[in-house]
Amino acid sequence: MTTFLLELKTRWIDFFTKHEKIIMFLFKFAMALTALFLVTYEIGYIEFLKSPLITIPSAVVCGLTPAPVTLFVISFFVIIHLFSVSFRLAVVVLLVFAVMYLLFFRICPKAVYVLLITCFCFFLHIEYILPVVFGLFFPIGYIFAIDFGIIVYYILHTIGSYEATLTRSTGVNVQVLSHIAESIFRNNSLYAVLIAFTVTFILVNIIKRGSFSYSKVYAIISGVVSELVLLVVTDIWLSAGLSLAAIIAGTIVGTFIAFILNTVIFPLDFTRIEHVQFEDDEYYYYVKAVPKRRVAASDLKVTTINAKDVKERATMEFTPVDVDDDSGS
């Protein structure tokens, strides 16, 4: 199984190297199109912006441009939809997006895709696979992208749940806005998930950086235990109303995905560890070298041999040649 996965990884790297531009375009296009679809699904108050003639070209633009443009386009759609029902609500959400950009995404623009994936997983109700998997493969600073993704999801989901109230009101009063804000910022499930995901992500990041053998395996196990305990404790403490069955199923699936990806992305062979020691004028260096497992992708070529062709070739190659007999001359 491991050999097959490593061979698959080698083939994927070769394929990605040859078609990098096309693959990245398709990835960014798919991310943007999915995000725009979810925005229009949750808060699609303007019918014009829900048209494929608008969303698909917008996604194409996102696919051809850097990550900050994707964030700007999606934010633009959200704000315009909200402006159609409430100026005040749109301003509040705009301020939230501005704070997100100024605090983090201006410095690390590619983390926009982590935010989007976080939102997608919450919309699909598979969010519990995230903290361990993301903690294993992303730097510790990416926790801000995950937390912002959780907040954005709860904002959009809460506003979407008030769609009937917002659409039938000609002018949204302060009382309705206060009720929406209270539903967002006093949502105990939001805080329970934020606490559990943040602590688990940081814990996995710290343990995976250890110099001891199988540090990433220990990081996965510690993260799974941490996530389960924190979600259950915060659920009881805050009365968040989280689904225990969903938590258990999500962590099990997340563990499986993390182990598979760890085998493929970090194929370390701890049976052949080497310890190297050297020095310069100022320091002694003690280095622990762990070799990677490498499997060359098999490149088999099957040649079909036709018996008739072989016979004809043999006849041509071994046809006797007449030799003049000069013995009688």
Domain count, the chain: 2
Residues 210 and 75 in one domain: yes
> Lowest-confidence range among 81-85, 204-208, 230-234?
81-85
pLDDT tens for each residue of 176-210: 666 677 777 778 899 999 999 999 999 999 999 88
Dihedral angle sign, alpha carbons of residues 132, 123, 189, 104: positive
Residues 310 and 222 in one domain: no
Residue tagged 């099990």 (tokens): 252
Residues 149 and 298 in one domain: no
Q: Which domain holds residue 50?
A: 2-274
Question: What's the pTM value of the predicted model, to 2 decimals?
Answer: 0.80
Residues 267 and 295 in one domain: no
Please report whether residue 29 resides in a domain.
Answer: yes
Helix axes 87-100, 67-83, angle to 10 degrees: 160
Residues 36 and 168 in one domain: yes
Residues 261 and 119 in one domain: yes
pLDDT surpasses 60 at 16: yes
Query: In this prediction, what percent of the chain has a pLDDT beyond 70?
Result: 81
Residues 195 and 95 in one domain: yes
Residues 194 and 236 in one domain: yes
Please report whether residue 99 resides in a domain.
Answer: yes
Please report whether residue 325 resides in a domain.
Answer: no
Q: How confident is the model at residue 29 (pLDDT cuts 50, 70, 90)?
A: very high
Please report whether residue 324 resides in a domain.
Answer: no
At 322, give phi and psi (nearest 5°). Answer: -70, 135
Cα–Cα distance for residue pair 31/119, rounded to 1 Å: 11
Q: How confident is the model at residue 110 (pLDDT cuts 50, 70, 90)?
A: confident
pLDDT surpasses 70 at 97: yes
Please report whether residue 17 resides in a domain.
Answer: yes
At 279, give phi and psi (nearest 5°). Answer: -145, 160
Residues 53 and 138 in one domain: yes
Three-class SS state of 306? coil
Please report whether residue 328 resides in a domain.
Answer: no
Residues 282 and 266 in one domain: no
pLDDT tens for each residue of 279-315: 887 888 888 777 776 665 554 444 445 555 545 555 5
> Do residues 202 and 143 touch, judged by C-beta distance below 8 A?
yes
> Lowest-confidence range among 138-142, 240-244, 325-329?
325-329
Among residues 184, 221, 178, 214, the alpha carbon closest in space to that of 200 is found at: 221
Note the pLDDT of residue 283.
84
Cα–Cα distance for residue pair 305/106, rounded to 1 Å: 61
DSSP secondary structure letter of residue 291: P
Q: How confident is the model at residue 329 (pLDDT cuts 50, 70, 90)?
A: very low
Residue 289 bridge partners (DSSP): 274
Residues 230 and 265 in one domain: yes
Q: What tokens does 246 get?
A: 């969903």
Residues 182 and 292 in one domain: no
Note the pLDDT of residue 306.
53
Cα–Cα distance for residue pair 37/326, rounded to 1 Å: 93
Please report whether residue 322 resides in a domain.
Answer: no
Please report whether residue 73 resides in a domain.
Answer: yes
Of residues 122 and 276, which shows the higher confidence score? 122
